[in-house]
Structure 1
Amino acid sequence: MGSLIYGNSTSPILIDDRALAHLKVVIAIKLRRQESFTLSWVHKDGEAPGRSTIWLHPSIPLRFVFDETEPPTLNPDWIAALSHTLSSTGGVCLVDEIIDPTSEK
């Protein structure tokens, strides 16, 4: 389980390493362009029910922490799906991975 640490928060946002690696790509593209946006996700089982949203801004420190030492192979379809959520007014939404049953991982 990876962590997203935003600003001076002492409470990391826990996100699966694989999902965090894909989010990192999408977030980095937006922040590199100096664009602010929101990131939303549905709470996982074991957490309080509901969803959360944070406002991401290029001037606020952001740290990605992964449990795994090796980065996963990235799924371009999942990156595209995450990027597609940016075209809505809701910002980036952590959507489930799109798996092509004909591709090998």
Structure 2
Amino acid sequence: MGALHYGTDGVPFTFEDRLLSHLKAVIVGKLRRGEGFMLTWTEPEGGPSHSIWLYPSIPLHFVFDREEHFPLDRSIFEALATGANGSDGLRLTTPI
């Protein structure tokens, strides 16, 4: 499991490494263009739901449990990017 550390406090949110590598590609692409968006997900097994606003001025740090050498699956990347570009933001509803 990897982690996305968010904000000045570096609050960690854990994701499976493969999903995190896809999220990183989408997030970096959006932030490079100066675009903010909402990321929403629910933790497994009835855990809490989270929504965070991702914006270029908010610190992010990606930490992977193992070496980050995951080939990106184009269909997964495109589905995530489409969600990130929507008015409701990116909603993670199922694991990849």
Letter in 2 for 1:58: P
Letter in 1 for 2:29: I
CA contact (8 A) 2:4 2:62 kept: yes
TM-score by length of 1: 0.81
Letter in 1 for 2:78: A
Give percent identity, aligned residues only.
42
5+ residue gaps, structure 2: none
CA RMSD, 1 decimal: 1.6
User: Equivalent residue for 1:75?
Assistant: 73
Letter in 2 for 1:34: G
Is 1:52–2:50 an aligned residue pair?
yes
Query: Of the two, which has the highest radius of gyration?
Result: 1
TM-score by length of 2: 0.88
User: Equivalent residue for 2:11?
Assistant: 11
1:10-59 Cα offsets, whole Å, 9 max, x none, are 530001100000000100110000011111112112xx634210001101
1:42-97 Cα offsets, whole Å, 9 max, x none, are 2112xx63421000110111110000114211101000110111232211222433
User: Hey, what's the Cα distance between the residues in 2 that align with 1:70 and 1:20?
Assistant: 10
User: Hey, what's the Cα distance between the residues in 2 that align with 1:49 and 1:90?
Assistant: 21
5+ residue gaps, structure 1: 98-105
Note closer, same or farther for the CA distance 1:87–1:36 as it changes in structure 2 (3 Å cut): closer
Runs of 4+ in 1 over 4 A off after TM superposition: none
Structure number with higher relative contact order (C-alpha < 8 Å, ≥ 6 residues apart): 2
User: Equivalent residue for 2:40?
Assistant: 40
